[in-house]
Amino acid sequence: MKTALVIGGGPAGMMAAEELARAGADVTLIEAKPTLARKFLMAGKSGLNLTKQEPLETFLSHYSHPQIAAITRPFGPDQVQEFARDLGIDLFAGSTGRVFPSGMKASPLLRAWIARLTGLGVSIRTRWRWQGFDGAALVFDTPEGRKTLHPDTTVLTLGGASWPRLGSDAAWVAWLAGKGVAITPFQPANMGFHIDWSDHMHAHLGQPVKGAALIIPTGRSRGEFVLSKRGIEGGGIYQIAAQLRAGAPLQLDLAPDIDIDTLTQRLCSISPKQSLSNRLRRGAKLDPVKLALAMEWGRPLPTDPQRLAARIKSLPVPLGPPRPLSEAISSAGGIAWDSLSDDLELTTLPGVFAAGEMLDWEAPTGGYLLTACLASGRHAGRAAARRLMSSPD
């Protein structure tokens, strides 16, 4: 029987292992950590967002590279939901279209998936850490000592460079670069941004900002974000993090549901004898967190109602640098697309495929990341199986 190694026990690796096993390969799934899918479990602690129900073209538009979008097209939101239901997981969609398990947790899905893999004959090896190549062989540190393996095909699903404590430490970069694989440098993605807060903001840190619009030169979006001790983070920021990382300026509209003329009229109706705080609280209906931001970033606030309304509708945000890779939810960068075939086979390493966050792509949170990891693992696993089964014994 032809042998296949899948190195990396996250969702992409598990999907690749399943495809290879279904094709009849003798599959070993290798994971450096004591258990599989640790980042997957961590991501699901506050509710596992599997995918998002929205038109397919809209869904695919969130990917940074057309190749990852093309790979995801045949295994998009509908197929991910069918996959989860086949594992016995009931699902529901929230008001924004995000799809979750009914129990919200990742662990039941993971347990069911591991059981299915072992039922298909997949051997799972944990605490095996890949240490690179010895010629054409793959070398591992294991609890039983050093192991050298010569599989017929290999799928690498080792993650990007975010959350290194959970296994995505990008140690593989040097080994692949040494084999002629082009690597796009990693950058944080779906990350927060540093802000130097004044002392008066300390009482508001940890609070969400709701009902504001985030404005960048290419458009505006609505999304909640959080004020943290280190800056701002959360879903609303992650949606535009790539543009902000590239230097796009950010403004907030703290009263997005009314136009500037209406806001000006409301501010005019408040006596100028009132303090600015009272005028904003009563005229613009700003809650305490938004009011604190207006005072923090709008200083000196104009007293003229028209100018004050304009400031509230386009409040400049003094962004600092992105938070580091170790704090990012995901990463941009990785194996360059010109080092990969359409089958995700490494052009300088025939028989070696790659999938998941190792590849050079990014997408916002909201189900896009996980869907593409599953889709690319499926794509690479199927391609590896085709190559394996077509090769001579």
Residues 213 and 92 in one domain: no
Phi, psi dihedral angles at 234 (to 5 degrees):
115, 175
Is pLDDT of 392 > 80?
no
Domain that holds residue 249: 193-316
- What would the pLDDT profile of 33-54 be if each residue is shown by its tens digit? 999 999 888 877 778 999 999 9
Q: Please, which pLDDT band fits residue 393 given cuts at 50, 70 and 90?
A: low
Do 305 and 291 sit in the same domain of this protein?
yes
- Residue type for position 141: D
pLDDT over threshold 70, residue 381 = yes
Residue 227 lies in a domain: yes
DSSP codes of every residue in 318-361: ---PBPPGGG-SEEEEEE-GGGB-TT-BBTTSTTEEE-GGGBS-
Q: Tell whether 260 and 375 lie within a shared domain.
A: no
* C-alpha dist (Å) from residue 179 to 133, 348, 359: 9, 7, 16
Give phi and psi for 278, each to the nearest 5.
-65, -40
Domain end marker among 316, 348, 365: 316
Token pair, residue 374, equals 């599953």
138 and 238 both lie in a single domain: no
Q: Is residue 175 located within the same domain as residue 231?
A: no
Query: Shortest CA distance to 337 belongs to which of 67, 75, 25?
Result: 67
Where is the domain boundary, 287, 316, 345?
A: 316
pLDDT at residue 227 in the model: 98
* CATH of residue 176: 3.50.50.60
Is residue 248 over pLDDT 90? Answer: yes
pLDDT of residue 205: 96
Average pLDDT for residues 115-123, to the nearest whole number? Answer: 98
CA distance 246 to 224: 21
Pairing of strands 145-149, 137-142: antiparallel
What does pTM read for this prediction? Answer: 0.93
Q: Give the count of domains, the chain.
A: 2
Q: Are residues 284 and 357 in the same domain?
A: no
Please check whether residues 262 and 297 belong to one and the same domain: yes
- Range in 20-24, 43-47, 109-113, 137-141 with the lowest mean pLDDT: 43-47
pLDDT computed for residue 272 by the predictor: 80
* Residue at 312 is within a domain: yes
Q: Identify whether residues 220 and 368 lie together within a single domain.
A: no
271 shares its domain with 177 = no
Q: Do 263 and 206 have their domain in common?
A: yes
Average pLDDT over residues 183-207: 96
Looking at every residue in the chain, the average pLDDT score rounds to: 95
Check whether the bond before 66 is cis (ω within 30° of 0): no
Residue 327 counted as domain residue: no
Query: Of the ranges 91-100, 157-166, 354-363, which one carries the lowest mean pLDDT score?
Result: 157-166
Instruction: Return the pLDDT at 45.
Output: 75
CA distance 50 to 97: 11
Task: Please give the average per-residue pLDDT across 302-316, as a whole number.
Answer: 94
The alpha helices in 7-90, defined as continuous H runs, are 11-22, 38-43, 56-60, 66-72, 77-86
Residue 321 lies in a domain: no
| Alpha-carbon gap, residue 364 to 366, rounded angstroms | 6
25 within some domain:
yes
State the Cα–Cα distance between residues 154 and 179, nearest whole angstrom: 15
| Token pair recorded at residue 367 | 């189900």
Which of 316, 341, 366 is the C-terminal boundary of a domain? 316
Both 262 and 373 in one domain: the answer is no
**pLDDT computed for residue 391 by the predictor:** 75
Kindly indicate the confidence band of residue 235, based on its pLDDT and cuts at 50, 70 and 90. very high
Q: Is 298 a domain residue?
A: yes
Q: Report the pLDDT value the prediction gives residue 126, as an integer from 0 to 100.
A: 97
In a domain, 323, yes or no: no
Residues 158 and 197 in one domain: no
289 domain residue, yes or no: yes
